[in-house]
Structure 1
Amino acid sequence: MKKAGILNRHLSGALAELGHGDGVLVCDAGMPIPPGPRVVDLAFRAGVPSFAEVLDGLLAELVVEGAVAAHEVRDANPSATRLLETSFPELELVAHEELKAMSADARLVVRTGEARPYANVLLRCGVFF
């Protein structure tokens, strides 16, 4: 049994399969999930687990070379905006509809229980060397 890091076996296994350039969508409970990507649904109750908790856990285990979020987050969700801008100094912002379209190419979708709007980010995996 793992003693640290991400303990959810489905998520841990999915992360181990990612490679350079793969997309990972971390999304709130309301984000429409397109057919195609593998989905690990962590949502338990509204707000549990939070977008911040899940993103922090993923960033501790992944190399990320880029991130894209919806520009609507800036007006609708100040706490998610702060988290995203702190975590990704070169955060790319696009329209929410464009983010939804881009998510169809993600390799993995991690759904959180987040119940505040626009708490979504598409991560692009990097390489550790």
Structure 2
Amino acid sequence: MKKHGILNRHLSGALAALGHTDGVLVCDAGMPIPDGPRVVDLAFRAGVPSFAEVLEGLLGELAVEGATAAEEVRGANPAAASLLTGHFPDLAYVPHERLKQLTSGARLVVRTGEASPYANVLLRCGVFF
């Protein structure tokens, strides 16, 4: 049995299958998820687990070379915007409608229980070397 890191077997296995440039969308409970990407749904109740908790856990295990968020996060959700810019100084912004379109090309979607607006980020996997 794993004793640290991400213990959820579905999420841990999905992360192990990712490669360079694969997309991983970390999203709030309300983000529409298209058919196509593998989905690991962690949502339990509104707010549980939070976007911040899940993002922190994923960043502890993933090499990330870039990230994209909805430009609306800056005005509608300052806490999420601050979290994202703290982790990704070169964060790219697109309109929320475009972020939803980009989701169809993601390899993995990790749905959180987050119940605040625009708490979504599309990560681009990097390499650890």
The size of the alignment, in residue pairs, is: 129
Residue identity in the other structure for 1:108: L
Q: CA deviation at 1:110?
A: 0.1
For residues 56-101 of structure 1, what are the alpha-carbon distances to aligned partners after superposition, in whole Å with 9 as ceiling and x for unaligned?
0000000000000000000110110000000001000000000000
Structure 1 equivalent of residue 40 of structure 2: 40
Secondary structure of 2:11 counterpart: helix
Structure 1 equivalent of residue 59 of structure 2: 59
Unaligned runs of 5+ in 2: none
Secondary structure of 1:106 counterpart: coil
Point out 4+ residue stretches in structure 1 off by more than 3 angstroms: none
Q: CA deviation at 1:115?
A: 0.0
Structure 2 equivalent of residue 92 of structure 1: 92
Identity within the alignment, %: 79
Unaligned runs of 5+ in 1: none
Query: 1: CA distance between counterparts of 2:112 and 2:53?
Result: 9
Q: TM-score, normalised by structure 1?
A: 1.00
Query: 2: CA distance between counterparts of 1:54 and 1:84?
Result: 13
Residue identity in the other structure for 1:36: G
Question: For the aligned residues, what is the CA RMSD?
Answer: 0.3
